[in-house]
Amino acid sequence: MTLSASAAMTDKARELRAQGIAIISLSSGEPDFPTPPHAIEAAHKAALDGDTKYPPLGGTPALKAAIQRKFKRDNDLDYAPDEILVANGGKQIIFDAILATCNPGDEVVIPAPGWITYADIVALAGARPVPVPCPENNRFKLRPEDLEAAIAPRTRWVILNFPNNPTGAACTSAEMRALAEVIERHPQVLVLTDDIYEHLVYDDFTFCTLAQVAPQLKGRVLTVNGASKAYAMTGWRVGYCGGPRDLIAPMSNIQLQSTGGITTVSQAATVAVLDGPQEFLAERAAIYRERRDRVVEMLNAIPGIRCHTPEGAFYVFPNIADCLGRSTAGGRQISTDTDFVTALLAEAHVAAVPGSAYGMSPYIRLSYATDMEALVEGCRRIEAFCTALR
């Protein structure tokens, strides 16, 4: 296991900033909006009221009830309290699920490009990650025929993450149903849907999740979500899921022996945001859409770069193939997307992440979860960097 590429680039950007260098960091998948005030107020009240003891392993009754209401309101899904688990971020939910179910030799199908943590957790369990390429000519979406070809007798899980990190690709209900038809033919396969970017979709795109469009599969689906991206609560570390109780029970056992329940004040804050006003989610999504449009427009005007327009999340995943095989103004050779982002940081002082870290080259991931001024300046620096390639 190694430090993730996005974390490594973010750390390097911090180091350079500490040296007084004006870095534009487009590497971090962290919202720049503040946590909603009513979440902070709820956490403060919980602390003042003495809600500071060991928490229930799987989540407080109040938070489980709020999650039940959220799933019903947003996804038309019904889960009983013992079909819900709260954990230390969505990452721990995934860790609990894979560790509770996978044995050495099992396989987990993961669309690529995809968040590298999926494959690392699978490997930690002794299982084998099976990447399935989702090419740009299909807008980085998983094709049913490719999913069918990847499923084998030892396949234990399929992981779906739409809207996707790093591409921003999202699935329509028709596309999701087509994937469901494949999965239905393989009753041994469980499905983990990572819906963390659920509320970050644009241009009247309608989000859907697998258990919602294919209720016949609900008993095999773990629907994963959290407070971090939509509610700008990354540091509060709250993830949650709904799934069949015979899966939630062993996941809870893994969590019992790893971390136990999560901090009580974070749970109180999450009750507040899940049950509180939801209008600001659309307002923030509109701001992200404006940023996306500006970044895509500026990137597509840069020689050597071609950038798709994503349906969701807050990333773009431009193709830099025409920049390879060249050298920078500073004399660095650009043979790979890793070379590109390394030189871009050193010479243009812009932090990005190589597509190879997510399983697809030659691309780079840029986050537009930052203010417009920084995004415009970052794109201008990328333009100057690419224009100087020879």
Question: What tens digit of pLDDT does each residue of 280-325 get?
Answer: 999 999 999 999 999 999 999 999 999 999 999 999 999 999 999 9
41 within some domain: no
Last residue of a domain, one of 237, 254, 275: 275
Claim to verify: residue 197 and residue 80 sit in the same structural domain: yes
Instruction: Read off the pTM.
Output: 0.95
**Residues 6 or more apart in contact with residue 374 via CB below 8 angstroms:** 24
Look at residue 14 in the predicted model and tell me its pLDDT: 79
Q: How big is the CA angle at 167 (ends 166 and 171), to the nearest 5 degrees?
A: 120
363 within some domain: yes
Claim to verify: residue 298 and residue 192 sit in the same structural domain: no
Residue ranges in the chain whose pLDDT is less than 70 = 1-4, 6
Query: In sequence order, what DSSP letters do the residues of 67-109 get, joined into one string?
Result: HHHHHHHHH-----GGGEEEESSHHHHHHHHHHHH--TT-EEE
Q: What are phi and psi of 81, to 5 degrees?
A: -55, -40
CATH code: domain of residue 347: 3.90.1150.10
380 exposed, middle or buried (CB, 10 Å; 0-12, 13-18, 19+)? middle
Total domains in the chain come to: 2
Look at residue 8 in the predicted model and tell me its pLDDT: 77
Claim to verify: residue 126 and residue 251 sit in the same structural domain: yes
Q: What distance in Å separates the CA atoms of residue 227 and residue 59, rounded to the nearest whole number?
A: 14
Query: Token match 């689906």: residue?
Result: 221
37 within some domain: no
Six-digit token string for 298: 């500026």
Q: Which of 227, 234, 210, 198 is nearest to 314 (CA)?
A: 198
Claim to verify: residue 237 and residue 337 sit in the same structural domain: no
Q: Do the beta carbons of residue 305 and residue 285 sit within 8 Å?
A: no
42 within some domain: no
Claim to verify: residue 259 and residue 121 sit in the same structural domain: yes
113 within some domain: yes
Q: What distance in Å separates the CA atoms of residue 383 and residue 323, rounded to the nearest whole number?
A: 12
133 within some domain: yes
249 within some domain: yes
* Segments forming the whole domain that contains residue 359: 5-30+280-387
Last residue of a domain, one of 210, 240, 275: 275
One-letter amino acid at 277 equals P
Claim to verify: residue 238 and residue 300 sit in the same structural domain: no
Claim to verify: residue 289 and residue 155 sit in the same structural domain: no
Last residue of a domain, one of 243, 275, 307: 275
Claim to verify: residue 259 and residue 319 sit in the same structural domain: no
Claim to verify: residue 58 and residue 197 sit in the same structural domain: yes
Claim to verify: residue 13 and residue 144 sit in the same structural domain: no
Claim to verify: residue 250 and residue 303 sit in the same structural domain: no
Claim to verify: residue 214 and residue 312 sit in the same structural domain: no
Rg (CA), the chain: 21
44 within some domain: no
CATH code: domain of residue 218: 3.40.640.10
